[in-house]
Amino acid sequence: MIRILKNRLALSTVITTLIILVVSILLAAVVAYYATNVVSTRVQEENLYVSKQHVWVNSIGEAEAAVMVTNNGGRDVVINKVSVRGQVSDWADVFYAIADPDLDTLTDDLVYLPVPVAADDDLGLTDTAHLALTNLILPSGMTMVIYLNSPDSIGLNDIGLTVGISLHTAQAVYYCETNIQAIIS
């Protein structure tokens, strides 16, 4: 027993090991906290709110679809494609308008426009309709209305059925459903 107490080297090895272990754990915790803080503050998420979706079919079987999209995320979003009932719409049939954020009519429902929708048509926003030549860009905090002329595989026999409208971006697919409505023209 006296021999163990006199051996100072054995006691200092244990204490040195404990000190190295505690210091390395503290340094690892500080580095992990810093990395988490840097990553979480610099990552901005994509977040689209899809609302007021409609698909209309008139008495001669021509279809039209419309949807309102609001970008609630912290970054601008690129919409790569729009599809109705799983069928991708050709960009020549897609028209859009970006709404003024101060506009009171954003709470109004979307209305049926005589088919086909064309460029410079009034969509009830301060901006008129534009033909989508390629991907749609929706800035952060803005709202866009999208109209689709003649979505594929929609006809008179589909009135009353539920269909899905999908917006595809680089990070996600935003999906909403609506019933096909009849329009008497």
pLDDT digits over 27-48, tens only?
999 999 888 877 766 556 788 9
Q: What pLDDT does residue 41 have? A: 61
Q: What pLDDT does residue 2 have? A: 57
13: helix, strand or coil = helix
Task: Supply 173's token pair.
Answer: 């697919």
Q: What pLDDT does residue 163 have? A: 93
Low-confidence residues of the chain: pLDDT under 70:
1-11, 40-44, 102-106, 115, 120, 122-126, 185
Give per-residue pLDDT as tens, 43-81: 567 889 999 999 999 888 889 999 999 988 888 899 999
Q: Parallel, antiparallel, or unpaired for β 87-88 and 77-84?
A: antiparallel
Length of the chain: 185
Q: What pLDDT does residue 166 have? A: 93
**pTM (two decimals):** 0.72
3-state DSSP of 14-51: HHHHHHHHHHHHHHHHHHHHHHHHHHHHHCCCCCEEEE
